[in-house]
Amino acid sequence: MNPYTQLVSILSSPSARFYCNEAEIVSALVSVMKFIDVAHVTEEQFPSYKTQVASIFGVVNPITQEKEIHVTTDYASQEVTPGSLAYYPIMGMILSDSRWWFSSKQFVKDLQAAEANPMVNAHFLHIKSGGGEAWYMDRVAETLQSLKKPIYSFVEKVAASAAYYIGVHGATIKASTQNDLIGSIGTLIDSLNFMPYFEKLGIERIREVATKSDLKNKKYEDLYNGKPEQFIREELDPLQQQFEAAVRAARPQLNDLPDDDPVFRGESYYASPPAIDNKLIDGLTTFEEALYEADTMGKEWAQLQRNRKSLMSYI
């Protein structure tokens, strides 16, 4: 499987649900169209996300060294500088399992490794994504909610849908410019129906179900036949409810909003003033200042832990 076949297989599956804006889907498709007829894709042609992270970190690290802030993507290493920030680039399409895109499953493992690492003081989420696959996002939210170390979310250009689902767990959420796009708290299916194409090729589909299997894939067949009501009610609406509940739990500032507020109906906003006014983010900042703020949060948390430990020794 190459990046093209993986992405198309997900987009053509009726069971794939997304927390994603249209721009991210289009961007992901455009990036892989050149691999339609390529059996094997090399690391040079389409680098793995791990390689992309290393490249991003290569740009970030000199900035942090100049500021005397220590960051790491080696989340479990005991060899990193004490008091480091765990740095997570969350960029592009979000998928549950992927070599080429951000993997929500790997993210959970990385969070847990950094949380358990005494050399790490805080988690820094660097977000530039329009979202992605809905599956496994509940586990991501549970993991983020369980963390004791502070989380700082920095948005560069866009934090929409699944990306905002992740970023909302930051104790502080700030964007880089007033024109960054924030929100899109919504759920959709954006599936590719290849059947008309196959029919033009003369490929006939034969489908029958057992007498007692009348409901087998029925709601998916109805969806493709222009009757999406059951699919929306049973597949999309529950995911939307989970999404909204997770956002409200992570960001109590939004709890005063009614259920029918545009914020919870999939609307997206520029960072400033609307996203700030709607309490989706806390403000604007530069990347360097965000790192400094996150580093300060981490140091304050570490000092608090030391104070508590010292106090307990007297009890």
DSSP-assigned letters across all residues of the chain: --HHHHHHHHHT-TT--EEE-HHHHHHHHHHHGGGTT-S---TTTS--HHHHHHHHHHHHHHHHHHTT--EES-TT-SSSPTTEEEEEEEES-EESS-SSSEEHHHHHHHHHHHHH-TTEEEEEEEEEE-EEE-TTHHHHHHHHHH--S-EEEEEEEEEETHHHHHHTT-SEEEESSTT-EEE----B------HHHHHHTTPPP-----TT-TTTTHHHHHHHTT--HHHIIIIIHHHHHHHHHHHHHH-GGGTTS-TTSGGGGT-EEEIIIIIHHTTSS-EE--HHHHHHHHHHHHHHHHHHHHHHHHHHHH-
154: its two tokens: 């920095």
Matching residue, tokens 């994504």: 129
Q: Whole-prediction pTM value?
A: 0.91
pLDDT at 2: 79
Q: What is the mean pLDDT of each run of 10 residues along the chain (315 residues)?
A: 80 78 85 78 87 91 86 96 97 93 97 98 98 96 98 98 98 98 92 76 86 92 91 95 98 96 98 98 98 98 92 74
42: its two tokens: 């090399």
pLDDT at 29: 84
CATH number of 3-314: 3.90.226.10
CB proximity list for 18: less than 8 A, separation 6 or greater:
25, 131, 132, 133, 134, 161, 162, 187, 188, 189, 190
pLDDT at 192: 67
pLDDT at 315: 65
